[in-house]
């Protein structure tokens, strides 16, 4: 029977963007809300602020992710164009270069040359793109996918503290918001780690500690300015 394996590398592009977006949406919105709650802002002001944070943050995440990943995609395309030109100009030199790569990975000289010959006969550009440039189909930059994943996940993450603010009494709001957000972020960190095949506990602890620091900072700052808006 044919041996089958399942790896998570093909999920790295959208998973990274989605986890970053949800984490940022949850912690930034919750931190903002507990900060203005500590400043004794009115319930209506808090809801308006939270909704504005959701919309602006989603657009900001989408824009930043698209620009970042598009730059990576442009770099990859430029490298592939250069490699195409080099293959057309001096195929022998490219063959020697590919064989040298395989020798560095442990093949003897004769076998490395034969592997390079067969791979280049099958798909010369694909072989050089993969083994010389390190560009793989599973991890290739996809700007639109990353932007959409970031925007949607940010909105989902920000919706949780916003919903808690809408339905929690003012006297309990800060405590409930902090506790629920930390619990949600811990679950998110563990889920992301598990999806990527990494240990869940260290990821959960890491995101919880940094998030607690962020919310503690905004509460301290808000407490200094009791504006009551």
Instruction: Quickly list H helices, the chain.
Output: 12-38, 43-89, 91-104, 109-131, 143-167, 173-195, 200-224
| pLDDT tens profile 186-220 | 988 887 777 667 788 888 898 889 889 989 999 88
Query: What number of other Cβ atoms are within 10 A of residue 38's Cβ?
Result: 20
pLDDT at 138: 59
| pLDDT tens profile 12-21 | 555 666 777 8
pLDDT at 86 over 60: yes
pLDDT at 54: 93
pLDDT mean across residues, the chain: 83
pLDDT at 66 over 80: yes
Question: Which is more confident, 1 or 113?
Answer: 113
- The DSSP annotation for 70-116 comes to HHHHHHHHHHHHHHHHHHHH-HHHHHHHHHHHHHHTT--HHHHHHHH
pLDDT at 42 over 90: no
pLDDT at 132: 79
Decide: pTM greater than 0.85: no
Domain limits of the chain? 12-223
pLDDT at 140: 64
């Amino acid at each position: 029977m044919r041996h089958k394996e399942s790896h998570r590398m093909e999920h790295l592009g959208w998973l990274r963007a989605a986890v970053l977006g949800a984490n940022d949406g949850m912690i930034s919105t919750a931190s903002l809300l507990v900060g203005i709650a500590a400043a004794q802002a009115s319930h209506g002001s808090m809801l308006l602020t939270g909704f504005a944070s959701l919309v602006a943050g989603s657009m900001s995440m989408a824009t930043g992710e698209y620009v970042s990943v598009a730059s990576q995609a442009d770099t990859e395309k430029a490298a592939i164009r250069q490699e195409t030109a080099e293959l057309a100009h001096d195929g022998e030199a490219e063959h020697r270069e590919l064989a040298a790569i395989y020798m560095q990975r442990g093949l003897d000289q004769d076998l490395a040359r034969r592997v390079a010959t067969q791979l280049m006969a099958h798909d010369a550009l694909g072989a050089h793109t993969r083994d010389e440039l390190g560009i793989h189909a599973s991890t290739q930059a996809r700007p639109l996918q990353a932007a959409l994943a970031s925007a949607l996940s940010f909105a989902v993450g920000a919706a949780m503290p916003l919903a808690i603010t809408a339905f929690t009494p003012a006297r309990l709001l800060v405590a409930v918001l902090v506790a629920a957000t930390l619990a949600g972020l811990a679950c998110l960190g563990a889920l992301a780690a598990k999806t990527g095949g990494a240990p869940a506990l260290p990821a959960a602890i890491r995101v919880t500690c940094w998030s607690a620091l962020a919310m503690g900072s905004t509460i301290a700052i808000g407490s200094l300015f009791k504006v009551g808006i």
